[in-house]
Amino acid sequence: MADNFRVVIIHGAYGSPEENWLPWLAEELQKQGREVLIPSFPTPKGQSLSTWRTSFSRQVGDLDKNMILVGHSLGVGFILNLLEQSTSPVLGCFLVSAFVGLLGLPEFDLINASFISKEFDWKRIKANAGFVRVYNGDNDPYVPLERGREIAERLGVILTVIQGGGHINASAGYTRFPKLLSDLTDLMSKHKAS
C-alpha cells in the first residue's frame, strides 16, 4: 500500500520538468507508488522569485510534513526561500548542484538574483527542512564546490561530493541519478506518512 508522501521536484533556471534526471526520478518513484510532482516554472523569460512562488502555489500548494523537496541548481535557492517563509516543516530536502549568491555569470545572475542574492534566515530554514542531503559535482562548470559546502555547513549536514559530476545534469551524463533515488527511498522507508 502506498503512503501519502508527496515528492516535489524543482528544476533550475533555463530548465524544465522534462530535462536531466528529473523525469527518470519521477518515473522510478511512481513505480514505487509514490506521488510525484514536477511543477513547471517560467524561465528564463518571466523568471523571478515572485512568479515562481505563484506557480508553486498554483501547482503544488503549501508545504507540509509529508512533503519531500528535491531541487536542482536554482531549484535549491527556490526551496530555501520556500522553507524560510513556511509555517510548516517538510519531511526532507535533497539539494543538487546547490548554491546561493551570484555566480559571476551574467546570463544567470540577472534572472537568479531575486532568489539567491540575499541574507537567508538559516536557523528558520534548518528548522523547516527536515532531513537534508546536499550533492555537488567536484568539477561543476557553473557552481564552485565551496557553494555547496557552504549550504551543507549552514544546514548542519555533510556535503556529498559527486566525483566528475559536473553540474549533475544531462550534459554531464546525468539523465539518471541512482544515488539520489536510493537516498530518497531510504528516507521514505524509515518514515510513515501521517
Number of Cβ within 10 Å of residue 95's Cβ equals 30
Q: What pLDDT, on a 0 to 100 scale, did the predictor assign at position 193?
A: 64
Instruction: Decide if 96 contacts 35 (C-beta within 8 A).
Output: no
The mean pLDDT value of the chain amounts to 96
Q: CATH number of 6-190: 3.40.50.1820, 3.40.720.10, 3.40.50.11030, 3.40.50.150?
A: 3.40.50.1820
13 is written with which cell numbers? 533556471
HSE on the CB side for 177, CA within 13 Å? Answer: 32
Number of Cβ within 10 Å of residue 191's Cβ equals 16
Q: What pLDDT, on a 0 to 100 scale, did the predictor assign at position 1?
A: 35
Segments making up each domain of the chain, as ranges: 6-190
How does DSSP classify residue 88?
S
pLDDT less than 50: residues of the chain: 1-2
Q: What is the pTM of this model?
A: 0.97
User: 3-state class of 142 per DSSP?
Assistant: coil
Q: What is the pLDDT of residues 138-181, one digit of tens each?
A: 999 999 999 999 999 999 999 999 999 999 999 999 999 999 99
